[in-house]
Amino acid sequence: MKQARTLTDKQLKVVLAHCATRRHAARDRAIVMVSFLAGLRAKEIAALKITDVYGDDGLIRDEFVLNSIQTKGRKARRVFISTKLKRELAVYLKLETPNSHCEALFKSQKGTGFNANTMCQLFLNIYNDCGIDGASSHSGRRSLLTNLAARGVGVRVLAEIAGHSSITITQKYLDVNDEQMRAAVELG
Domain ranges, residue 110: 9-140
Give me the pLDDT at residue 94, please.
Answer: 86
Q: Examine residue 184 and state whether it is found in any structural domain, yes or no.
A: no
Give me the pLDDT at residue 150, please.
Answer: 86
Give me the pLDDT at residue 74, please.
Answer: 76
**Alpha helices (H) along the chain:** 9-19, 25-38, 42-47, 50-53, 83-95, 116-129, 139-150, 155-162, 167-173, 178-186
Q: Examine residue 153 and state whether it is found in any structural domain, yes or no.
A: no
Q: Examine residue 81 and state whether it is found in any structural domain, yes or no.
A: yes
Q: Examine residue 25 and state whether it is found in any structural domain, yes or no.
A: yes
* The model's pTM: 0.89
CA-wise closest residue to 85 among 34, 137, 148, 29: 34
From first to last of its 188 residues, the chain has per-residue pLDDT tens of 578 999 999 999 999 999 999 999 999 999 999 999 999 999 999 999 998 998 888 899 999 998 777 877 778 889 999 999 999 999 998 887 666 656 899 998 888 889 999 999 999 999 999 999 999 999 999 999 999 998 889 899 989 888 888 888 888 878 777 777 888 788 88
Give me the pLDDT at residue 119, please.
Answer: 97
d(CA 46, CA 9): 24
Domain count, the chain: 1
Give me the pLDDT at residue 181, please.
Answer: 80
Specify the CATH number for the domain of residue 15: 1.10.443.10
Give me the pLDDT at residue 54, please.
Answer: 87
Give me the pLDDT at residue 188, please.
Answer: 82
Contact 29, 92 (CB under 8 A): yes
Give me the pLDDT at residue 30, please.
Answer: 97
Q: Examine residue 63 and state whether it is found in any structural domain, yes or no.
A: yes
Give me the pLDDT at residue 178, please.
Answer: 79
Q: Examine residue 166 and state whether it is found in any structural domain, yes or no.
A: no
